[in-house]
Structure formats: C-alpha cells, structure tokens
Amino acid sequence: MTGAMKLAVPDMISNSYFPAEAAVELGFFKAEGIDVELELIFPVDKAYAALRDGAVDFVGGSAHSALAAFPRFRGVKLICAQAQGMYWFLVMHADLRPLRGELSVVKGRNIGAAPWVDQGLRGLLTEAGIDVARDGVTIAPVPGAAGAGVNFGVAAARALEERQIDGFWANGMGAEIALRRGVGAVVIDARRGDGPKACFNFTAATIAATDGLIARSPETVAAAVRAIVKTQAALKADVTRAAAVGKKLFPPSEAELIADLIRRDLPYYDATLSPGFVAGMTAFARRQGILDCELSYEDVVAREFRPLWNG
C-alpha cells in the first residue's frame, strides 16, 4: 500500500497501548514495509468510529470497545494483542485509607472513568457483589479529561489530587503518578490478580482492523502483526528502549516513569488472542448489555494471523 497508514490510540501518555506506539517510534512498522502514523483519538469509541468510517486503518485500544462502532463485531476483527489482561487500576484517595482488594471503599463515592473504559469497572464491581445503584457509586468522566491531547490517566491523577473525585479507574501511568504524589492508593490491579478471577479476560489491549482491509490487503495486516510481535520482543530484550520512545512522545515527568511501567508489563507482552480470552470478553460484553448474542472465536478474531503471534 502507498501513503502513510494511521493507527489510532485513545490514550498516548501511558503504558496501555505502548507496544503500538513503540512499533511506530522504533521503526518496526517501517521495517515490515508499511508506513504508519500514530493518531490520538479519545475516547476509545471515537477511535473505533474513525476506523469504521475509514479515517484510520488500525485501532490500538480495548478489545470490547470495538462494539461501540461495530455491533456484534460485524466488519471488524482483532488481529493481535498488545498485551494480555484487563490493564486498568482502581485508585482511591489516600485519605480514605483504602485497603488492597477491599472494594467496599467505593460505596457512596465518585469514581472517574473514561467512556467504555468504565464498562470494565462496572463489570468488576458487579462480579464482586457491589451494586452501583444500591451502593451509591457514581462512575462518570473525569473533569477536564475530554480535551484533545489530554492524557486520561494524568488528568485523573490531577483530579484526585484536587479532590474533584474520590477515585479513578485508569491506566498505569495515572496510578503511578497518584501513588508517587501520595494522593492515591491502588485498590485493584485487575491484570495482576486483584478482584474476581474472571475480570482478567474482560478486555485487553489489542490491534483491530476492518474486514475490508483484511480482505483487500492481507499482507499489510500481516506486516502490522509482525511489527507488534517484534516490538514486544525488542522491549523484552531491552526495556530501556521504552525510555527513548517516552522522550519522543511524553512530557519529561511521564517519560521518566515509562521504562519502569513497561518493565512491570513485560510478562504480559504476548500477541496471542486465545479462545479463553474471547469467551471471557464476549461473556462480559453480554452481561454489560453491549452485545446481544453469543459470538464464535472467528466472529471476533482474524485467525489467519495466528501463526504470526509467536514470531
């Protein structure tokens, strides 16, 4: 294909979609023969709408959120994972003296969460026996986080510090900033075993492409998958390369943090989209009312790219 392709991510200054960002900035897409540019489109439902409308070629976002623009996954497929597991953190204000794993702290509280990202928190709370309505939990967007170019996690940490919210559900960057400033404490790290076990597979950071692109140019999509897989391997081999990407994309304070955050994420860097993940994610989507039927593995995943996931 000629001309630069566009890869949309809904959050730039974070670890959430870092393999996609690093694949661009470290030249792994170019090495596979495709020219790819990053584009920040927040929130994630708008990123998938841009994919549906042909404004971008790939989305590096939360897997379940494809349903925002592609009901029943019609017209879109996941082509690989950027990392395994639901990757958001529930952080509550330190003044509340929250305990790790103790979800009762959310009762009567105001929690900041981005559109569609909030579905993960709602599902987790339901799974843990918290009824949002009965228990007076307010889950809403973070004040000031809707502006173009504003990183959600960083904005959430700032809103927590200013006591505009009691807690937030956001990326590892936001969690780390809140912890280092002494204003927040992690209650749930879903990826690392906090909360009900099923929550791990509620969603994951993935790469998605339209059925049209896959049919029209399968070699281009295969090149994109290879680029992500090689980026994951490169970061595992030398995590300090994350700092170089951070210096290009992030403000200095966040750039200093990114290598440590990626080092923690490396055990989850695996491009595989397993049947167990798809079953868990689609069951979650049905319970959340964003999917109205059962889907097969092939409805969700472009399985022709499976041989590429292990390099």
Tens digits of residue pLDDT in 109-146: 999 999 999 999 999 999 999 999 999 999 999 988 87
pLDDT (tens digit, 9 = 90+) per residue, 181-223?
A: 999 999 999 999 999 999 999 999 999 999 999 999 999 999 9
User: What's the pLDDT score for residue 136?
Assistant: 98
Confidence of residue 1 (pLDDT cuts 50, 70, 90): very low
Give yes or no for residue 151 having a pLDDT over 90. Answer: no
Short-list 32, 20, 83, 38, CA closest to 270: 83
Quote the strand ranges of the chain, DSSP E.
Answer: 5-9, 36-40, 58-62, 76-81, 89-93, 110-113, 138-140, 167-170, 184-189, 205-210
Separation between Cα atoms, residue 283 and residue 294, nearest integer Å: 8
Confidence of residue 147 (pLDDT cuts 50, 70, 90): low
Confidence of residue 3 (pLDDT cuts 50, 70, 90): confident
Q: Which domains does the chain have, with CATH numbers?
A: 5-85+203-308 (3.40.190.10), 89-200 (3.40.190.10)
CB of 117 closer than 8 Å to CB of 170 = yes
**Mean of per-residue pLDDT scores for the chain:** 96
Q: Are strands 89-93 and 184-189 parallel, antiparallel or unpaired?
A: antiparallel
Short-list 102, 51, 39, 53, CA closest to 78: 51
pLDDT (tens digit, 9 = 90+) per residue, 57-104?
A: 999 999 999 999 999 999 999 999 999 999 999 999 999 999 999 999
Q: Is 102 helix (H, G, I), strand (E, B) or coil?
A: coil
Q: What is the dihedral of CA 120, 125, 127, 131, to 10 degrees?
A: -130
User: What's the pLDDT score for residue 210?
Assistant: 99
Phi, psi of 224 (to 5 degrees): -65, -40
Confidence of residue 311 (pLDDT cuts 50, 70, 90): confident
